[in-house]
Amino acid sequence: MIRHPLQLAGETVLPRAATRRPTEAPGLVDSFGRRHNNLRISVTDRCNLRCTYCMPEEVTFRDKRELLSFEEIATFVEVAASLGVNKVRLTGGEPLMRKELHKLVRLLVAIAGIDDLGLTTNGLLLADHAAELFDAGLRRLNVSLDTLNPDRFRALTRREGLDRVLAGLAEAKRVGFAPIKVNAVALRGFAEHDVVPLAQYCRAHGFELRFIEYMPIGADSWERDKVFFAHEILDLINREVATVVPVPHDPSAPAQDYAYTDGGGIVGVIASVSRPFCHHCNRLRLTADGKLRNCLFALEETDVKAYLRATPPQRSAIATALRESVWAKWEGHEINAATFIKPQRTMHAIGG
Ligand code: SAM
Ligand code: SF4
């Protein structure tokens, strides 16, 4: 699927590096010259919450036999690492709903070339699993938490569980995770009330808070008016928490971080809607059922499960699929354009 190029005012459009074919390019480079080293792996589409911005209340989860085994995931990561991937993040659905996730962590930290392994979780089961994940070698942890208010937690997640998330964060800190990042989706109607308490809570506990602008990837109908924008978040923080200043930025990192000038730590914003970072994107995704996606908003996928389930696994076919998928990546997601088409899979089934 080819889309019209995304171009924001004041930004240059990347020229296509059209002279090379995918199999000739070193590593995972797309036709705009973007090198991909960052892989997000969904380990399940199941979840114990039903966040309104992410998934529908009623959902049929995939049969567990459709999900990649830990060994299949590790084989995929070995091939990806041989092509230059060094950063891996486990996600879902809720990754801690996958039994014995620490065993996958152990397999992945042992893979040559993987030097950065992270996990994104809603934190509900974290108190039970933090120690075994840490022992297995996991160090980077993002916990999603949009509000400290029990009523708004219930309204957003359609479930109970705020206390368990807070207990999970405390246990993760106790066992030694650092840094611990807290991810909050910035949704108008909620964020106005939650930005300041979340910022104060994270400052008090030494967590790095990150706001993510609400994106059109859930089950709900999305409108731009429902996004609480990064500049509004920063205004609130500057006005009601403490002054912040931008810290030097790695352009391929989606978050722009800000430091509190009083030494209170870091707060970040991921401005996916108001300031897309597609031009520097270095990410690709593997879904729990073995589909390769070259963009969160991709409308096409490449199935690699059959290659992983062959005996022995077809590593060169996986490498070719990876190269071709990356090469075919479009320039940008076009959330802001009239031509934007929302993918059929909602966030929980892709892996955020
Ligand atoms: N269940 C885990 C969790 O919630 O952290 C991992 C999967 S979840 C899909 C990953 C991240 O995507 C979470 O931080 C969540 O808040 C974010 N997310 C989900 N739907 C979103 C949306 N429509 N816009 C922005 N972020 C979203
Ligand atoms: Fe579940 Fe995470 Fe989606 Fe919430 S954001 S429904 S916790 S997958």
**pLDDT tens-digit profile of 138-163?**
999 999 999 999 999 999 999 999 99
pLDDT in tens, 232-255: 999 999 999 999 999 998 888 899
Query: Given a cut of 60, is residue 191 above it in pLDDT?
Result: yes
- Most informative mutation of 49, 90, 126, 285 for ligand 2 (most atoms within 8 A of CB): 49
Q: Which H or E element spans position 109?
A: helix 101-109
For residue 215 and ligand 1, the question of a CB distance below 6 A is answered with yes
For residue 94 and ligand 2, the question of a CB distance below 6 A is answered with yes
Domains (range + CATH), the chain: 27-350 (3.20.20.70)
Could you tell me the pLDDT band of residue 45, with boundaries at 50, 70 and 90? Answer: very high
Mean pLDDT of 179-198: 97
For residue 54 and ligand 2, the question of a CB distance below 6 A is answered with yes
Q: What span, in angstroms and rounded, lies between the C-alpha atoms of 315 and 322?
A: 10
- In order, the DSSP letters of 298-328 are -S--EE-HHHHHSSS--HHHHHHHHHHHHHT
Query: Given a cut of 90, is residue 24 above it in pLDDT?
Result: no
pLDDT in tens, 94-122: 999 999 999 999 999 999 999 999 999 99
Could you give the percent of the chain with pLDDT greater than 90? 81
pLDDT value at position 333? 78
- In order, the DSSP letters of 17-63 are -TTS-TTTSSSSB-TT--B--EEEEE--S--S---TTT--SS-PPPP
Query: Given a cut of 70, is residue 22 above it in pLDDT?
Result: no
pLDDT value at position 16? 56
For residue 347 and ligand 1, the question of a CB distance below 6 A is answered with yes
Centroid of ligand 1 to alpha carbon of 59 (angstroms): 16
Non-local CB neighbours of 259 within 8 Å, separated by 6+ positions? 244, 245, 247, 265, 266
Q: What span, in angstroms and rounded, lies between the C-alpha atoms of 326 and 307?
A: 18
Query: Which atom of ligand 2 is nearest the CA belonging to 55?
Result: 6
Mean pLDDT of 5-30: 58
Query: Which atom of ligand 2 is nearest the CA belonging to 47?
Result: 1
Mean pLDDT of 47-53: 97
